[in-house]
Structure 1
Amino acid sequence: MIEIQNLSKIYKTKNGEVNGVDNVTLSVEKGEIYGIVGYSGAGKSSLLRCINLLERPTSGHLTVDGVDLTVLRGEPLRLARLKIGMIFQHFYLISQKTVYENIAFALKAAKVPAKERIDRVEKLLEMVGLSDKRDVYPSQLSGGQKQRVAIARALANNPKVLLCDEATSALDPTTTKSILNLLKKINQELKITIVLITHEMNVVKEICNRMAIMQEGRVVEEGAVYNIFASPKTELAKEFIASVVSYDIPETIANSCEGPLVKVTFRGKVAGEGVISDTLQQYQVKGNFLHGSIEYIQDLPLGIFVMELKGAKEEIKQALKYIEERDAQVEVLRDGV
C-alpha cells in the first residue's frame, strides 16, 4: 500500500541544513496498522507529513496505492490526497462550526453533493459513537470526543490510508484506550491502512502489527511488533520497551545472589507452558524467581522471567540447554559469584 524508497527531507535553517528524514526505506502493507516510534526530533512527524506531501521530500520516492506522489502537482495531487486521511494530536476542529459541520466541511471541500454529505456524515457519526453530539460545538466536547470528530472528518472522503500524528498524546489513559479501540474497529471494518506515530510504546503494543523505530531521521530498527518486543536489536529499542516492560532487579537484590542471574524469554504458546518447572524437576538446580510476567502483544503471549539459578555449574549448563531446546531465549545477565 505504501512504499517509501530512499526518502530524505532536508530543512534549511539559519544554522545550516538539517536532515529531518535521512534516506528512509520501508513499506506498509495494505490493511495493517503500522507504528513509527521515536523521541521528539527523531523525524517521525516529518516522515508522516511526507507521506501525504504536506512536506515535499527533498529526494526519494513515495508510492501510495500504486501512485508515486512525488511526481504529482496541482489537481492530480489534490485528488490523490483525498485518499489519505490525517488526524493530529490537537484535533484542529473549527470552533465556530458544529460537529456535523466540521465533518461535512471535508466533504464540501471535495465538492460532494449536499444530499450525499448528509448521509455520509450521519453514518460517520454513528461509527465514531457521536450521533447524539451532532449539533454541539467543539467547546462542549471532551478531548476524546474531539478526537472522534477529527477521526470522522478524516474518514469523510473514504480514504484508503489514515495517518495518525500523536493522536492520543493529549488524552488520558482511559480515553486513549477507547480511541485505540476505535482505530482498530476502523481498520478491521473499513480495511483502511493506518500509519501511527507515537513516542508511547504502550500504544504500539496495543494496536500495531509492525513498527519502525527512528532516531536522527533514520530508521534504526524495523519489524513485527511482537518480534521487537521479544528480541530488540538496538539499545534504543530496548530503552523504549523498558518504558513498558521493565525487568530491572534492584542492585541490592542482585548483589545478594550467589548463583548466575538469567533472563528467559518464551514466545508464543510456549509462554503458557511449564518449561521452567519441568526443568527444575529434571535437573539438580534450584530457581529463585526475581521478576517475571506474561505480556500479551496482539493477543500473542510473551513470557519473560528473571531468576537466580543455584546448583553445580554442569547441571545449570544442562538446564539452560534444555530450556533453549524448548524454543526459549536465554540470556545470562550475570555469572554467579
Structure 2
Amino acid sequence: MIQIEKLTKTYTTKHGTVTGVDNISLDIGKGEIFGIVGYSGAGKSSLIRCINLLERPSSGSVKVDGKDLTKLNGEQLRKARLKIGMIFQHFHLISQKTVYDNIAFALRAAGTSNKDIKTRVEELLEMVGLADKRNVYPAQLSGGQKQRVGIARALANNPAVLLCDEATSALDPNTTLSILRLLKDINHQLNITIVLITHEMNVVKEICDRMAIMQSGLVIEEGYVYNIFAAPQKKLTKEFISSVVSFNVPTQILSGFTGTLVKVLFKGGVAGEGVISDMLQNFEVKGNFLHGAIEYIQEQPLGIFIMELKGNKSAVTDAINYMESRLAIVEVMSNGN
C-alpha cells in the first residue's frame, strides 16, 4: 500500500542544512497498522508529512496504492490526497462549526453533494460514537470526543490510508485506550492502512502490527511488534520497551548467588506451558526464582523468567538444553562462583 524508497528530507536553516529524514525505505502493507516510534526530533513527524506530501521530500519517492506522489502536482496531487486521511495531536477542529459541520467540511471541500454529505456524516457519527453530539461545538467536547471528530473528518472521503501524528499524546491514559480501540475497530471494519506516529511504546504495544524505531532521521530497527518486544536489538529500542515492560532485575539482587543465573524467554503459546516446572521435575537441579512476568503483545503471550539453577554442571547444562528443546530462549547471565 505504501512504498517509501530512499526518502530524504533536508531543511535549510540559518545554521546550515539539517537532515530530518535520512534515506529511509519502508514498505507498509494494505490493512496494516504500522507504528513509527521515536523521541522528539527523531524525524518521525517529518516522515509522515512526506507521505502525503504536506512536505515535499528532498529526494526519494513515496508510492501510495501504486501512485508515486512525488511525481504529482496540482489537481493530481489534490485528488491523491483525498485517499489519505490525517489526524493530529491537537485536533485542528474549526471552533465556530458544529461537530456535524466539521465533518461535512472535508466532504464539501471534495465537491460532495449535500444529499451525500448528510448520509456520510450520519454514518461517520455512528462509527465514532458521537451520534448524540452532531449539533455540539468543539468547546463543549472532551479531548477524546474532539479526537473522535478528527477521526470522522479524516475518514470522510473513504481514504485508503489514515495517518496519525501523535494522535493520543494530548489524552489521558483511559481516553488514549478508547481511541486506540476505535482505530483498531476502524482498521478491521474498513481494512484501512494506518500509520501511527508516537513516542509512547504502550500505543504501539496496544494496536500495531509492525513498527519502526527512528533516531536522528534514521530507521534503526524495524519488524513485527511482537518480535521486537521479544528480542530488541538496539539500545534505544530496549529503552523504549523498558518504559512499558520491565523484565530487568536490579543488579544488587543478582549478586551473591553461587548457582547459574539464567534468563528464560518463552514466545507464543509456549509461554503458557509448564516448561520450567517440567524441567525441575525431570532434572536434578533446584530452581530459585528471582523474577517472572508474562506480557501480552498482539494477544500473544511473551514470558520472561530470571532464575538461579543449582546442581552439578552437567545437570544444569541438560536442564538448559531441555528448556531450549521446548522452544525457550535461554541466556546464561552468570555461572556462579
TM-score by length of 1: 0.98
Amino acid in structure 2 at the alignment position of 1:225: V
1:208 and 2:208 aligned: yes
Alignment partner, residue 258 of structure 2 = 258
Amino acid in structure 2 at the alignment position of 1:4: I
Alignment partner, residue 106 of structure 1 = 106
Amino acid in structure 1 at the alignment position of 2:263: K
- Aligned residue for 2:296, secondary structure, equals strand
In structure 1, C-alpha distance between the alignment counterparts of 2:112 and 2:334, rounded to whole Å: 65
In structure 2, C-alpha distance between the alignment counterparts of 1:189 and 1:28, rounded to whole Å: 19
1:286 Cα deviation from its structure 2 partner: 1.2
In structure 2, C-alpha distance between the alignment counterparts of 1:139 and 1:190, rounded to whole Å: 30
Amino acid in structure 1 at the alignment position of 2:226: Y
Structure 2 runs not aligned, ≥5 long: none
1:115 and 2:131 aligned: no
In structure 2, C-alpha distance between the alignment counterparts of 1:153 and 1:243, rounded to whole Å: 33
Amino acid in structure 2 at the alignment position of 1:179: I
In structure 2, C-alpha distance between the alignment counterparts of 1:273 and 1:166, rounded to whole Å: 38
Alignment partner, residue 46 of structure 1 = 46
Alignment partner, residue 323 of structure 2 = 323
Alignment partner, residue 70 of structure 2 = 70
- Aligned residue for 1:105, secondary structure, equals helix
Deviating 4+ runs (over 4 angstroms): none
In structure 1, C-alpha distance between the alignment counterparts of 2:118 and 2:204, rounded to whole Å: 35
Amino acid in structure 1 at the alignment position of 2:105: F
- Aligned residue for 2:94, secondary structure, equals coil
1:240 Cα deviation from its structure 2 partner: 1.1
Amino acid in structure 2 at the alignment position of 1:153: R
Structure 1 runs not aligned, ≥5 long: none
- Aligned residue for 2:263, secondary structure, equals strand
Q: How does 1:160-171 map to 2 (within 5 A)?
A: 160-171=160-171
Q: How does 1:189-268 map to 2 (within 5 A)?
A: 189-268=189-268
Higher mean Cα deviation, 280-289 or 253-262? 253-262
Contact 2:209 2:298 in 1 (8 A): yes
Alignment partner, residue 174 of structure 1 = 174
In structure 2, C-alpha distance between the alignment counterparts of 1:326 and 1:44, rounded to whole Å: 39
Question: Over the residues paired in the alignment, what is the CA RMSD in angstroms?
Answer: 0.9
Give CA deviations for 1:267-321 in whole Å, capped at 9, x if unaligned: 1111100011111111111111111111111111111111122222221111111
In structure 1, C-alpha distance between the alignment counterparts of 2:230 and 2:132, rounded to whole Å: 43
In structure 1, C-alpha distance between the alignment counterparts of 2:256 and 2:93, rounded to whole Å: 57
Higher mean Cα deviation, 168-177 or 280-289? 280-289
1:136 Cα deviation from its structure 2 partner: 0.6
Instruction: Tell me the number of residue pairs that the alignment of Structure 1 and Structure 2 aligns.
Output: 337
1:335 Cα deviation from its structure 2 partner: 2.9
Give CA deviations for 1:39-68 in whole Å, capped at 9, x if unaligned: 111111111010000110000011000000
Alignment partner, residue 158 of structure 2 = 158
Higher mean Cα deviation, 305-314 or 25-34? 305-314
